[in-house]
Amino acid sequence: MKSKMNIKSIIMMAAVGIISLFFINMSLAANTAKVSVETANLRETADENSKILEQFSKNQQVEIIEKQGDWYKVKVKGITGYLRQDLISVENEEQSTNQEVTSNNAETTNNEQQTEQVAQTTEVEAQTEIKIGNYKIAENTKLKIVPVINATDTIEVKKDEEVKVTEILNDWVCVEAQNTKGWIRKEKIQVPQAIQASAPVETIIKTAYVNSQTVNVRKEANTTSEIITKLSVNTAVEVISEANGWSKVKVSGQEGYISTSLLSDKKQETSRSMTQSRKTETTKTTTTTNTTANATSTTTSTVAPAPSGKGASVVETAKKYIGCRYVYGGTTPSGFDCSGFTSYIYKQYGVNLNRTAAGQYSNGTAVSRNSLQPGDLVMFGKSGINHVGIYIGGGSIVHAANKSSGVRIDTINSGYYNKNYVGARRVI
């Protein structure tokens, strides 16, 4: 009899334990947490040496599934993995559950307070919105080549140093400082109260030049809007603002919108200027050869062959894919990597390139940097070649940049691409 009672007691205790564990896990499952450090690694298992599935920035919200020792099993963006408990701050939701059993009057008061808080938060967010224009740095920080926490740093900017915000992407802003462009977090920008409360003032942020043969200036920032006027290559325009891939410009007293990809910071090389450049280079080559011939040995230099008219066509084709997403190993418009993008574009012109950026450096003929022409392949890398793009003129390339940006246009005359320039090839 005593034995039976002991068995029943054990069964009851086990049942209570299972039920308690169930409710503890349910409570955790109902909780959310936020990343509390600059960068947190989501790992495949609860082990510091396991595979990294994803990296999250500070304040990224995650859903807690369960706790395992010093680790939390979490789900975020459809991915399930493990975060160390010291990398996140857990938001306990017991308060909200208890509030559901308060009186109707208390609930009404609470709702009114929440409404007021939301309104206040919205007002603060509206006041602190950063727009295109000039600002000061809030604290010492370094510019990054792309808007990612663990991206490569370029230059350091000091507190109170003046910078120009040229582009905004989620919680990141692209700024120009010390003749270099790079990305920093929004919180690194000072937003004076006087600026917050006032409406944005339209000021000229830069002068740009049309980089295509004919460009439409539209009344609104979309491709179906009314065409105000047409501009030819190298026409100068005053850029008032930039947003969502469009630039608001002023030209000949008229204001309108042009796709940002159709503007460059420098004038394009026309056929006349390229011809003059080749004549000058040929003259230099002849002079060098004749001078060296009087010495013990003769040195000759080779002028890169003049491009065919297809170079400009290649550029126009490549620009059509601006905005396509970046996918490692991708070779189609559904997703490109850098060499997959160049291979896809040139295949349309009957040119088969090697698959990798390093492999493409053996295609075509070498071109010096000061002889670059639209349609040339340009290679970059710190230790060996690991990136390639298509030169479009004006010191810029169109390329599949990274997961954050996809296919876009960048300058090679400053920042990362200027420092890590390797060489160029002419393949058409």
Residues 400-413: tens digit of each pLDDT:
999 988 999 999 99
**Residue range 206-264, CATH number:** 2.30.30.40
Task: Please tell me the predicted confidence (pLDDT) of residue 330.
Answer: 93
> What are the boundaries of each domain within the chain?
24-96, 206-264, 269-303, 307-426
Residue that the structure tokens 């479009």 belong to: 392
Task: Please tell me the predicted confidence (pLDDT) of residue 388.
Answer: 97
Enumerate residues 6+ apart whose C-beta is below 8 A from 377: 342, 353, 360, 363, 364, 388, 389, 390, 391, 424, 425, 426, 427
CB 209 within 8 A of CB 267: yes
**Residue range 24-96, CATH number:** 2.30.30.40
Q: Average the pLDDT over 52-79 and give the result.
A: 84
- Residue 239 three-state SS: strand
**CATH class of this structure's domain 307-426:** alpha beta
Same topology for domains 24-96 and 206-264, yes or no?
yes
Task: Please tell me the predicted confidence (pLDDT) of residue 6.
Answer: 59
Q: What's the pLDDT tens digit per position in 250-285?
A: 988 889 999 888 888 888 776 555 445 555 554 444
Cα–Cα distance between 85 and 104 in angstroms, integer? Answer: 38
Cα–Cα distance between 336 and 400 in angstroms, integer? Answer: 6
Residue 83 has pLDDT above 60, yes or no: yes
Q: What is the pairing mode between strands 79-84 and 189-190?
A: unpaired
What strands lie across the sheet with 189-190, from one edge to the other?
A: 153-157, 141-144, 180-185, 172-177, 162-169, 133-137, 189-190
pTM to 2 decimal places: 0.34
Q: Average the pLDDT over 358-385 and give the result.
A: 94
Whether the CA torsion 135, 169, 324, 238 is positive or negative: it is negative
Q: Average the pLDDT over 365-386 and give the result.
A: 94
Q: What is the pairing mode between strands 227-232 and 236-243?
A: unpaired
Six-digit token string for 135: 């600002």
Residue 232 has pLDDT above 70, yes or no: yes
CB 145 within 8 A of CB 136: no
Cα–Cα distance between 357 and 221 in angstroms, integer? Answer: 35
Enumerate residues 6+ apart whose C-beta is below 8 A from 352: 343, 346
- Residue 379 three-state SS: strand
Whether the CA torsion 160, 163, 167, 173 is positive or negative: it is negative
The residues annotated with a catalytic role in the active site are: 338, 387, 399
What strands lie across the sheet with 396-402, from one edge to the other?
A: 365-367, 421-426, 377-380, 387-393, 396-402, 406-411
pLDDT > 70: what percent of the chain?
72
Q: What's the pLDDT tens digit per position in 174-217?
A: 999 888 899 898 889 987 654 444 444 556 778 899 887 788 89
